[in-house]
Structure 1
Amino acid sequence: MSYAIETKGLRKSYNGTEVVRGIDLRVEQGELVALLGPNGAGKTTTIHMLSTLIKSDGGYASVAGFDIVGDARNVRRRISLTGQFAALDEGLTGLQNLKLISRLYGHSAKAARSVSEELIEAFGLSEAKDRAVQHYSGGMRRRLDIAASIVTEPDVIFLDEPTTGLDPQSRVQVWDVVRTLLKRGTTVLLTTQYLEEADQLADRIAVMDKGDLIAEGTPRQLKAAIGDRTLTVQFAEQADRDKLGTWLYEAHALTALKDDHPLVHKIPVKDAFAAHQAIHTLMENGFAIDYFALSEPSLDEVFLSLTETKSKGGAP
């Protein structure tokens, strides 16, 4: 099978530190894969290697069927990259930006106007098309930036944290733009720190941490991997996390994940009976509980579970 993106043992080091540690990744044509991880995970470095901005130090990768090292020119002809900051001319209008880029790629004046008008309408910018970009909101800039990225109808587009710094409404607008790309048949590799973004958009998610690819699957598969339910427990006072973890693991082989709230912990469990056992064990060992609830797991719990397992030296 021919993949839109394929890597085998892809590596990159800086100053003796390996920041991408031999990752294997496959993305099918027309698929959106989210590369999920915290700052420093190696996401942007991976994108920069695949888009030929930097050279890999080892392994192999192909994009749109071409080797990123041996045939970098053909790779660049078939991709587009949208980084974390909009690459637009502030003094030009939205429509003028798109027409300029289209002309630079060799389109006639008539063709440039046609494709630019089409993209302006598709991405909901018609009312602002004759307004200078310097007066655009952050969400409008991101939509225009992505529109500029697909003037040439690339086979593969790399979106590197496209919604960083945007308000919730603007993020949703950018998500709609990404869905439009998928309807056009474009393959998308998206990097993000936002778990909700990956859950909303991705066909599959690849989780990176400290240069390693530590898990991969659909959102549903990743959630199922840590348990069918999540037991959320709020304690009456701050609990000793080491003791909490020890009691749960020794009694039931369960792991407690700390929430942002200091009194709240989340415990992946298989079913309601396992949740009952966990609550009983905690109360039996002196943990005063104010509140507990059983719910479906989220990607937040998946990510915390995966990274905690890795930090303890376990298998992801």
Structure 2
Amino acid sequence: MSDFDEDPVLSDVEGEEEHLKEAEDEKVEVQHLTQEIISQGLSLLCRTGNGLAHAFVKLNLQKRGLDDIAAINSYIHIRFLDLSNNHLADLSPLSSLTQLLWLKQPFAQLTYLQWLSIAMNQLTDVDGLVGPALESLNLTGNRIQRLNGFQYGSFANLVTLELRGNHLETTDGINLPHLQQLYLAQNAIKRLEGLEKLERLTTLHLRDNQLESLDGLSPSMKCLQYLNARGNAIIDENALRYIGFLSQSLRVLVLSGNPVAENSEYRINVLILVPQLERLDKNPVFPEDRAEAWERIRVTKTKYIFIFGFIFYPFDLVALCNFRNFEKRKCMRNKMCNYGQNGEVLD
């Protein structure tokens, strides 16, 4: 017996115009998903993962008037699912479908959907994904290679985007000016690109990638308060100089697990670049740490100091190192950035 029967995978375009016309002419009564409805839509018999049993892996639920799909979470072998033309506002039951390969759901119809997780699946891209009201999108643990599709017109209200554990090599492709939290740990990122568009970003998580430099951090990232680049491949101290662009906002910096962090001058040099840090790696920054950084600047006999390949003028650093009032000072951009007191900090 063949692994697959002759029933084709649901087409994303076949009959689309007919479906739209029929939807206008025909109104379906709103209902919850039942076992009977599921049994009517099942097809495509395949072997299961262990090869010892068979299960239906395709489920067509289009135009069923569904407002709830809780009953689907026990059908863990579903790989192809059509949910188009229903009345759904909650897609959380899909989290149990860990073998899902293909999903048809016009997300533009989900005008009130604010949170969506399609984590731990096998998605390779997000073409066609739209969330007009979406505030949080979790795509962790898929196979996404490019960040195409993350445009303001599709996700105007997106605040949190999670893409941990995918196959990304660059950060380029995100044009979401309201985004505040971006989680990109455990990818294969070698280049930081396009980050200048993320002016309201407060959290950037890049742990366990393949970065050799922090080139790509931008002065326009005026709200960034937490940066985690732990466990990358940063060796050269010159590669750290770009954190100076964040000197007005950055509060927590995690660089442990990089060869550069083993340098005896690492901590003091970072504090000279970003003196308002409150935590570096797992260690808090104390007033005496800042005082040491300031003393290093003060004893400089020339009009400038040379750190990580950049020239810094002491009168610029004075404004950043007002130790007497430091603890009372707040970032004047916090209101614009909307960085709450309860923001989670991850190592």
Question: TM exceeds 0.5?
Answer: no
Q: Which has the larger radius of gyration?
A: 2
TM-score (norm 2): 0.27
Q: Which has the higher contact order (CA 8 A, sep 6+)?
A: 1
Structure number with higher helix proportion: 1
